């Protein structure tokens, strides 16, 4: 019994030392920055957890498209939709002056896409028009909120679509989460507690193919590292303040193990380069922590 107690104390002491070292390095990155930075890390295999400002409710921006995609795929799991089902995207669905790779490819609209393709545009390319198409399809943001509530997601609110946030940038604060909530949700997703295995695998592959935010959590990781992530960015709607520069994801280590990380930069008056570099540097520090 004494030996077991001693070993447990040793493990606890090592974890404390690991967190302290990690904290010191992260503090050095954010020191002096005119921004609030929320950071959470959750090791899926060894129960290692770290957070700084992890309980602060921060705006999600396009990160909420992960929550939306999950709600849509839950409906597919229940037989309401199929990922192969085709939908007509009209020209009227393709609003101007918003981020939309689909509109760039099909400026006249009137194109049929499968639900799977629409989800891919929404998550991997963060298309705002396909995002709002999906929200209309499932009955709005409350449907997403209800689904997340049913799965025990905490400190999370989703109440505005992309068009709402473009009409009044202050609405961007209305969709929020804590970084602690974000990594907990990613763990549930990974464990198959959000969706069926088929839908989990489908969305995981889409997130692994994310093309946005290459200057965030993926930037300094070794080339080829599997990172299933979702980004969010506000720009500077008033030319002064960055509402959010976000990234969250599941990272696979060389040993095959996994961890979740969420870094949300909020209310920053720093440049985009400084904001994204903070996310990138923090991600690299965490990666190095797991690969000593």
Question: Active-site residue numbers?
Answer: 62, 162
Neighbours of 40 (CB within 10 A): 25
The answer to whether the beta carbons of residues 44 and 258 sit under 8 Å apart is yes
Beta-strand (E) ranges in the chain? Answer: 36-43, 49-52, 58-59, 86-89, 111-114, 156-157, 176-177, 227-233, 242-252, 258-268
Residues 6+ apart with CB under 8 A from 35: 242, 265, 266, 267, 268, 269, 270, 275, 278
Sign of the Cα torsion 175, 179, 184, 185 reads positive
SS3 assignment, position 264: strand
The answer to whether the beta carbons of residues 264 and 278 sit under 8 Å apart is no
Give which of 205, 139, 125, 217 is closest to 179, Cα–Cα: 217
φ/ψ of residue 52, rounded to 5: -135, 125
Give which of 247, 256, 262 is closest to 291, Cα–Cα: 256
CA neighbours closer than 13 Å in the CB half-sphere of residue 41: 24
Tokens of 125: 């390319």
Q: Enumerate the H helices of 54-140 as residue ranges.
A: 64-77, 101-105, 115-124, 128-138
* Whole-Å CA distances, 125 to 12, 61, 78, 210, 285: 41, 14, 26, 6, 26
């Amino acid at each position: 019994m004494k030996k077991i107690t001693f070993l447990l104390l040793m493990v606890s002491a090592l974890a404390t030392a690991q967190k302290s070292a990690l904290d010191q390095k992260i503090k050095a990155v954010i020191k002096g920055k005119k921004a609030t930075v929320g950071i959470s890390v959750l090791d899926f295999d060894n129960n290692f957890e770290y957070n700084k400002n992890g309980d602060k409710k921060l705006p999600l921006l396009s990160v909420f498209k992960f929550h939306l995609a999950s709600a849509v795929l839950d409906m597919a799991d229940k037989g309401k939709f199929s990922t192969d089902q085709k939908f007509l995207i009209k020209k009227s669905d393709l609003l101007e002056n918003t981020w939309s790779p689909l509109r760039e490819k099909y400026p006249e609209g009137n194109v049929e896409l499968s639900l799977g393709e629409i989800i891919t545009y929404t998550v991997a390319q963060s298309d705002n028009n396909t995002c709002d198409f999906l929200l209309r399809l499932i009955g709005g943001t409350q449907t997403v909120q209800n689904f997340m509530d049913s799965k025990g997601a905490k400190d999370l609110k989703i109440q505005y679509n992309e068009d709402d946030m473009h009409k009044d940038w202050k609405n961007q604060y209305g969709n929020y989460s804590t970084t602690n909530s974000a990594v907990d949700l990613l763990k549930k997703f990974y464990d198959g507690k959000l969706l069926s295995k088929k839908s989990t695998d489908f969305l995981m592959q889409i997130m692994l193919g994310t093309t946005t935010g290459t200057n965030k959590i993926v930037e300094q990781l070794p080339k080829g590292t599997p990172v299933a992530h979702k980004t969010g960015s506000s720009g500077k709607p008033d030319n002064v303040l960055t509402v959010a520069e976000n990234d969250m994801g599941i990272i696979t280590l060389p040993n095959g193990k996994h961890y979740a990380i969420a870094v949300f930069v909020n209310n920053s008056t720093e440049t985009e380069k400084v904001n994204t570099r903070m996310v990138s540097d923090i991600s690299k520090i965490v990666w190095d922590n797991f690969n000593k």
